[in-house]
Amino acid sequence: MKKLLFLVIGLTISLGAAGAKKRAEQPLPADPTPRIIEIATENTAMLLTVGEKGDLLFRYYGKRIADPTPILEKRLTRRVDFCTDPQAYTAQGGREQRRASLAVTHSDGDLNTELRYVSHEVKSEKGVTTTTITTSDSKLPFDVRLVYKAYEAEDVIVAHSEITNREAGEVKLRNYYSANVALIADRYYLTQFYGQWAREMFMSETQLVKGVKTIYSQKHVRGVQLENPSFMIALDTPLNENHGNVVAGALAWTGNFDLSFEVDDFDWLNIRSGINPYSAEYSLAPGESFVTPDAIFTFSSEGSGQASRNLHDWARRDGVYNPQALRPTLLNSWEGAYFDFDAAVCKQMIDDAADMGLELFVLDDGWFGNKYPRNNARQGLGDWEVNEAKLPAGIDDIAAYAVSKGLRFGIWIEPEMISPKSELAERHPEWVVGSHNGREMTTTRQQWILDLSNPEVQDFVFGVFDRTMKLSKHISYIKWDANRHVENVGSTFLNDQEQSEFWVKYTRGLYSVYERIRKAYPDVVIQACASGGGRVEYGALKYHDEVWTSDDTDAYTRIFIQYGMSHIYPSLVMGSHVSAVPNHQTGSITPLKFRFDMAMSGRLGMELQPKDLSSEEKAFARKAIADYKELRSTINYGDLYRLHSPYDDKGYSSSMYVEKDKSRAVIFTFRFKYAGRDADCLLKLNGLDPAKRYRIREINLTDKPVFWGDGKEFSGEYLVNEGLNLSLRKVFASSVHVIEEVR
């Protein structure tokens, strides 16, 4: 493994650390020679330099250059003065005119911060090199440590900042982003992932011009349906799957986020990623530090495909909880039964799930509440006791039944939420988020939200999880939902001055609950749901094994949702279910095969009443599930190559997953628009070894094979250069092909 190339030109700078309340301008570095700090992975590097005044500048992010030292001499054709080049961490103050990553009101009211390099250290462990750079304000004892973790093999750099107040009085943080990155090119194309409930992660590309473009959320909980905290920037030419320079990134924060893209006076693109400062001023007491969340970046010189593969590799190493464990296939009760079930219905569903070869049954909403039974979405949240009328023998009765049939058992909770009609609301009105100033306590889905900035509420939420787990020793999966966002913000726990800290303290409260849960229940599989799609982000994934991708289970819409999501998140975490037709969200009618083919490209599940399937349909499902279990290591851990975008005018979409050793691949292709009687889907395969020989076979067949060469042997070279022509012509025709090395 290549070692991090770290260059220090000049002598070590040693600056006094502990300072008086105010101090004189810090001395210039003993040796004025500028220095480079290279934060490098195997193929990429960020270059920071220390300027003449000790300012830390962001000079380069791109392909790794063996000898980057000329960057020290680089001068733009225009005059470069201090602070016209982007800072490594833009602080408001001095000559900085860009939107700042850091904006502070110091203890004496000074609005300026000028960060100067103090020292740095580099540590390497298990393929991750951590560079920690300490900077300090030029006048006040106020420090920022910039931490960059470079994942060498994955070509991913994860950055955050740590802000410390050593002043005599309180400092107010107004902006406290995690990191910024600056790029220089002729043109910048931003791809963002956006949507709404049941239509998440659609893609759109915009050429950035002067000004600021922002991707953000102010909704806090369930905040990522509208805009996902992730992006891809293509440099010079629009985003292409296999060509061109691309910087991609994401923020790991389960709360208000802000990713902004500013083309500045000098044509640099400044990317700033972090917590949204929207009404979120945060006070730091003397001696206190603020640690910002992880901002994730990757660079690819081979288009968006490689950028995604980098992010997936990183996620399966460090970005997702328990990445090595295969996720179970499942039947979820929601769309099959909604609130209308009893033990007999659950057991029938379990029987059918077992018969089809699924591995887990998840009992969704509706199992709890007695005074206010949860028989609809209007009441009961907060009262997490088993509904005795519906399930008199309790949860263990069903969970044990599932286990006796060879299945695992999972259950739904929504512990951050509270119904106005609940015993909990009668007991603890002070736990509800709201201004409590006589303003209207607004509801969404007839529910309120609990104030997780309050440690008592944190205990309660942990208790909900803990008590639910104790309902049966057979529970091994929790679906954690959160079906509304924050409005009418306010906390009775926080004092008047702390109200703006609610947003950060809620998320920290949530994370502290998850820390406790993960300590107590390291092996339970937890799905982040949030109305589907509302917690698809790496902050949640640190504690969750998977997400509920979208409440939209329509296989047609899922083509776009999952294609978008695949740019940033791996299929391992992508809950993808076969549901009934007409689809409950969109009304569209697609063949069962099309629905299975789609669901098998993520983490396969079913979400329907299986007794409504015919015996032929069940037989198809049985075979597809068996095949999926055999193929899922390739689908969930292989390299993703997107072969055809659903966004072009050809009306089909195709992706393939290739085993790391290139011995096996699985290709999914979906026709969703008619393009002419003779229009084949043309796929040039990717990621295969040209020197190997492969046999190709179609699975999930309901008709004759769609490729003329089905069952035949081909060289990797042929498949990559000539590829496949699939006769998928009718709307909602689809195919799954398995390609295996012939040894």
For ligand GLA, the binding residues (CB under 6 A) are 334, 364-365, 377, 412, 481, 483, 529, 531-532, 548, 551
Q: How far is the CB of 338 from ligand GLA (least distance, A)?
A: 8
The DSSP bridge pattern shows strands 289-291 and 156-165 to be: antiparallel
- Produce one character per residue of 281-302: b if its CB has 16 or more CB atoms within 10 Å, e if not: bbbbeeeeebebbbbbbbbbbb
Q: Residue 459: which residues within 8 A CB-CB, separation 6 or more?
A: none
CB 457 within 8 A of CB 495: no
96 versus 481: smaller Cβ distance to ligand GLA: 481
CB 686 within 8 A of CB 656: yes
Q: How far is the CB of 717 from ligand GLA (least distance, A)?
A: 45
Q: How far is the CB of 478 from ligand GLA (least distance, A)?
A: 12
3-state secondary structure of 174: strand
363 versus 631: smaller Cβ distance to ligand GLA: 363
Gyration radius from the chain CA atoms: 27
Closest alpha carbon to 225 in 215, 233, 234: 215
Tokens of 239: 């985003």
Q: How far is the CB of 217 from ligand GLA (least distance, A)?
A: 18
Tokens of 500: 């703006």
Tokens of 387: 């509904």
Q: How far is the CB of 550 from ligand GLA (least distance, A)?
A: 8
Which residue reads 């069940």 in tokens?
A: 618
Q: How far is the CB of 546 from ligand GLA (least distance, A)?
A: 13
Rounded Cα distance between 741 and 659, Å, is: 11
Rounded Cα distance between 610 and 352, Å, is: 6
Q: How far is the CB of 568 from ligand GLA (least distance, A)?
A: 20
256 versus 332: smaller Cβ distance to ligand GLA: 332
409 versus 668: smaller Cβ distance to ligand GLA: 409
137 versus 364: smaller Cβ distance to ligand GLA: 364
Q: How far is the CB of 345 from ligand GLA (least distance, A)?
A: 16
Rounded Cα distance between 469 and 467, Å, is: 5
535 versus 692: smaller Cβ distance to ligand GLA: 535
Q: How long, in residues, is the chain?
A: 743
3-state secondary structure of 102: strand
For 346, phi and psi rounded to 5 degrees?
A: -60, -45
334 versus 372: smaller Cβ distance to ligand GLA: 334
Give the other-Cβ count within 10 Å of 53's Cβ. Answer: 17
Give the other-Cβ count within 10 Å of 675's Cβ. Answer: 16
Q: How far is the CB of 530 from ligand GLA (least distance, A)?
A: 7
297 versus 368: smaller Cβ distance to ligand GLA: 368
552 versus 627: smaller Cβ distance to ligand GLA: 552
DSSP codes, 597-647: HHHTTSEEEEES-GGGS-HHHHHHHHHHHHHHHHHHHHHHHSEEEEEE-TT
293 versus 610: smaller Cβ distance to ligand GLA: 610
Q: How far is the CB of 256 from ligand GLA (least distance, A)?
A: 21
Give the other-Cβ count within 10 Å of 26's Cβ. Answer: 20
Q: How far is the CB of 514 from ligand GLA (least distance, A)?
A: 19
Q: How far is the CB of 356 from ligand GLA (least distance, A)?
A: 20
CB 139 within 8 A of CB 152: no
227 versus 551: smaller Cβ distance to ligand GLA: 551
Rounded Cα distance between 402 and 294, Å, is: 39
Q: How far is the CB of 360 from ligand GLA (least distance, A)?
A: 15
Rounded Cα distance between 486 and 222, Å, is: 9
Rounded Cα distance between 654 and 241, Å, is: 12
352 versus 365: smaller Cβ distance to ligand GLA: 365
Rounded Cα distance between 102 and 89, Å, is: 7
DSSP codes, 352-400: HHHHHT--EEEE-S-SB-SSS--SSTTS-TT--SB-TTT-TTHHHHHHH
3-state secondary structure of 510: helix
Q: How far is the CB of 481 from ligand GLA (least distance, A)?
A: 5
CB 412 within 8 A of CB 365: yes
Rounded Cα distance between 37 and 121, Å, is: 10
CA angle 169, 170, 172 (to 5 degrees): 145
Q: Residue 429: which residues within 8 A CB-CB, separation 6 or more?
A: none
48 versus 362: smaller Cβ distance to ligand GLA: 362
The DSSP bridge pattern shows strands 417-418 and 448-449 to be: antiparallel
Q: How far is the CB of 576 from ligand GLA (least distance, A)?
A: 13
Q: Residue 339: which residues within 8 A CB-CB, separation 6 or more?
A: 365, 366, 374, 375, 376
509 versus 575: smaller Cβ distance to ligand GLA: 575
Residue nearest to ligand GLA (CB): 365
Tokens of 479: 């679906």
163 versus 606: smaller Cβ distance to ligand GLA: 606
Q: How far is the CB of 444 from ligand GLA (least distance, A)?
A: 12
CB 339 within 8 A of CB 376: yes
CA angle 592, 593, 599 (to 5 degrees): 90
Q: How far is the CB of 414 from ligand GLA (least distance, A)?
A: 7
483 versus 500: smaller Cβ distance to ligand GLA: 483
Tokens of 556: 């047609």
412 versus 556: smaller Cβ distance to ligand GLA: 412
547 versus 568: smaller Cβ distance to ligand GLA: 547
Q: How far is the CB of 483 from ligand GLA (least distance, A)?
A: 5
Rounded Cα distance between 691 and 485, Å, is: 53
